[in-house]
Amino acid sequence: MTAPQNALPSVGKALLLIGIGLVLFGCGLCLGAVATAVLTRPSLPRTSSAPIGSALDHPAPPGTAVVAGDLKIRVTDVIRPADDIVAGSIFNPQPGPGNEMMLVTVSITCHPEEGDTCPLAPVLDFLLVSPQGVHRPEWLVSGLPNLLSSGEISSGETVSGDLLFEVGKEETGLVLVYSESLGEDVAYLEVSPGRR
């Protein structure tokens, strides 16, 4: 009996790893561009007279739904710190010095004007912003049973799930920003500063 041969020679494996690295780097650049576009869009209202949830300085309070295009979005829960929950898998990101993990649970309802579904890509569609910085959702996570996943939401359907962020332990003024990938619809939702 002969041992199975490796399907990819070591040069092929190296090229595959380099290709994966380049794709991940490109995704990081893309997400940075999305964050910059969302936060610096000149047409965004920046006054408290704007409707609730339509401006960064006038986010919807926790539990209040905001309509952004075909979606109605609401923050339903916040767990901060969530370090113990995330520590359940050695593959999950661990917070750096002075930071902690935070789970934000959202409820999203699809009410499309055309078609019968709403696309959702949480890693691309959501950011967490504060005066201290911009945070993207962690996407290489395992063992979290309610992680919000990408896909299509059927008309009239409501989905709920968690977004995981790494934030500073003393960071305040957090606002969850939804901006449809390659779309114009934006929603701003306050994230409760409560701790557990």
Residue 90 lies in a domain: yes
pLDDT of amino acid 37 = 46
Residue 112 lies in a domain: yes
Residue with tokens 């829960």: 77
Residue range of the domain that includes 177:
66-190
Q: How many CA atoms lie within 13 A of 154 on its CB side?
A: 1
CATH number, domain with residue 134: 2.60.40.1240
pLDDT of amino acid 183 = 74
Which residues are CB-neighbours of 153 under 8 A, at least 6 positions away? Answer: 71, 108, 109, 110, 117, 118, 119, 120, 159
Q: How far is it, in rounded angstroms, from Cα 87 to Cα 15?
A: 32
Residue 47 lies in a domain: no
pLDDT of amino acid 47 = 52
pLDDT tens, the chain, 196 aa long:
444 444 445 555 455 446 555 555 555 544 454 455 445 443 344 455 779 999 999 999 999 999 999 999 999 999 999 999 999 888 899 999 999 999 999 999 999 987 789 999 999 999 999 999 999 999 989 989 899 999 999 999 999 999 999 999 999 999 999 998 767 899 999 997 654 4
Q: How many domains does the chain have?
A: 1
pLDDT of amino acid 29 = 47
pLDDT of amino acid 88 = 84
Residue 51 lies in a domain: no
Pairing mode, strands 71-79 and 66-68: antiparallel
Taking the model in full, what pTM does it have? 0.76
Residue 152 lies in a domain: yes
